[in-house]
Amino acid sequence: MRAIVLKIDGNVNQLNYTELPLPQLKECEVLVQTKAIGINPIDLKTKNEKGIYLMLQEENPLILGWELSGVVTQSRSEKFAEGDEVFGLVNFPGHGKTYAEYVACPAAHLAIKPSNPSHFEAAATSLAALTAYQSLVHLGGLKSGQKILIHAASGGVGHFAVQIAKHLGAFVVGTSSEKNREFVLGLGADKHLDYKTNALDKEHKDYDMVLDMVGGNTIDRSIPLIKKEGVLISIPSGKNDAVTDKASKNGIKGLKFTVKSDEDDIKVIADYLQQGILKPHISKIIEFDAMEEAHAQIASGHTVGKVIVRL
Ligand SMILES: NC(=O)c1ccc[n+]([C@@H]2O[C@H](COP(=O)([O-])OP(=O)(O)OC[C@H]3O[C@@H](n4cnc5c(N)ncnc54)[C@H](OP(=O)(O)O)[C@@H]3O)[C@@H](O)[C@H]2O)c1
């Protein structure tokens, strides 16, 4: 099968196309023929020896990628049979290996793809959607009637977070630049703020929760907007080291978060997709042969919704 292997040669970190044998299945795994892969900032961070590279550096071959949608071609699990269409977040945090034509996936990390969404849409609704769901629901406990500020509401995680927070009954304010205002409001946000102006700094201090996908200075700008005993959840690792200290000095909770592959949660996401509660926005579909183009798009820091790679 064709796969993309990370090669580190001196200072050059390259995505190399190579032929590999089909993965051998362990108990409770299924072999998935990949139809679509979702690309995320963690792919680039790990390629550049950040992200979860430390965890994977001994792996040989090291294959990036964690989101996929595809068709089961072999099964060592009672959950799925040959021919089932499945999607999910594979082995995160760990070795996902989805940049390949075939991927051995723990069955517990997958759900049946609902019939309406395409493989592109299902792949798009894995890592970023689970991040939004797990952080808002499990970590933050967002409730109906609460007021939440979602940073980078036009991005991969943010555009799902807006939809989930609205579904939960929250009042949602989303940030992005002006060019994405209509997109963010179209997702259902009640209000939009352009982070390039001082609109954010003039906001009321009445937020129950902030979900931060930017880190750094965005944390400092957000803390004064949160009610006492409110919560700031910051997800970009490496840019949020001081969030807990900074928040506690201001009488609020500052939390970091890492998404995890999870059987129950991916079923909820499948259900949200089926019911149309979550609608992924795909801004680009790129061929497998042009993975560097997909990485360049994510590296811009200005992707709207998701970038998907087609096999
Ligand atoms: N800890 C975890 O488990 C976890 C999981 C998922 C993601 N993450 C991290 O979370 C971060 C976001 O991921 P993502 O996939 O959502 O990224 P993304 O899709 O690349 O985000 C792009 C979006 O960010 C917006 N943006 C850029 N700078 C901004 C700013 N200063 N304020 C508000 N919006 C801004 C852009 O809007 P404009 O073009 O309008 O500027 C763009 O639409 C990444 O660092 C990623 O690694 C962590």
pLDDT in the model for residue 12: 80
Together in a domain, 111 and 134: no
Range of the structural domain that residue 54 is part of: 2-125+280-310
Together in a domain, 116 and 144: no
Residue 268 counted as domain residue: no
Q: Are 82 and 74 in contact (CB under 8 A)?
A: yes
Asked whether the CA dihedral 168, 160, 96, 213 is positive or negative, the reply is negative
Q: Which residues pair with 233 in a beta bridge?
A: 211, 255
Please report, to the nearest 10 degrees, the dihedral formed by the alpha carbons of residues 41, 309, 37, 11 taken in order.
-50
Tell me the best of 40, 237, 240, 306 to mutate to test the pocket of ligand 1, counting ligand atoms within 8 Å of each CB and taking the most.
40
Averaged pLDDT in 10-residue chunks for the chain of 311 residues: 93 92 98 98 96 95 98 98 98 98 98 97 98 98 98 98 98 98 98 97 94 97 96 94 92 96 98 98 98 97 98 97
Residue 226 counted as domain residue: yes
Together in a domain, 141 and 48: no
Could you tell me the CATH number of the domain that includes residue 179?
Answer: 3.40.50.720
Residue 266 counted as domain residue: no
Together in a domain, 288 and 299: yes
Together in a domain, 81 and 54: yes
Together in a domain, 132 and 248: yes
pLDDT in the model for residue 237: 87
Separation between Cα atoms, residue 216 and residue 201, nearest integer Å: 15
User: Which ligand 1 atom is at minimum distance from the Cα of 306?
Assistant: 19
Residue spans of beta strands (DSSP E) within the chain: 2-9, 12-19, 29-39, 67-75, 85-89, 102-106, 110-112, 147-150, 171-176, 191-194, 207-212, 226-234, 253-256, 282-287, 306-310
What are the phi and psi torsion angles at 30 (to 5°)? -130, 150
Q: Are 290 and 35 in contact (CB under 8 A)?
A: no
Could you tell me the CATH number of the domain that includes residue 42?
Answer: 3.90.180.10
Residue 217 counted as domain residue: yes
Count of the separate structural domains present in the chain? 2
> Pick from 300, 302, 289, 292: which is nearest to 2 by CA?
289
9's tokens: 């040669």
Separation between Cα atoms, residue 150 and residue 120, nearest integer Å: 25
pLDDT in the model for residue 75: 98
Together in a domain, 107 and 39: yes
- How many angstroms separate the alpha carbon of residue 257 from the centre of ligand 1? 14
Together in a domain, 102 and 137: no
- How many angstroms separate the alpha carbon of residue 253 from the centre of ligand 1? 21
Together in a domain, 30 and 93: yes
Write out residues with Cβ below 6 Å of ligand 1. Answer: 40-42, 128, 131, 151-152, 154-158, 175-177, 179-180, 195, 213-214, 218, 235-237, 257-259, 298, 301-304
Residue 263 counted as domain residue: no
Final residue before a domain boundary, out of 219, 240, 256: 256
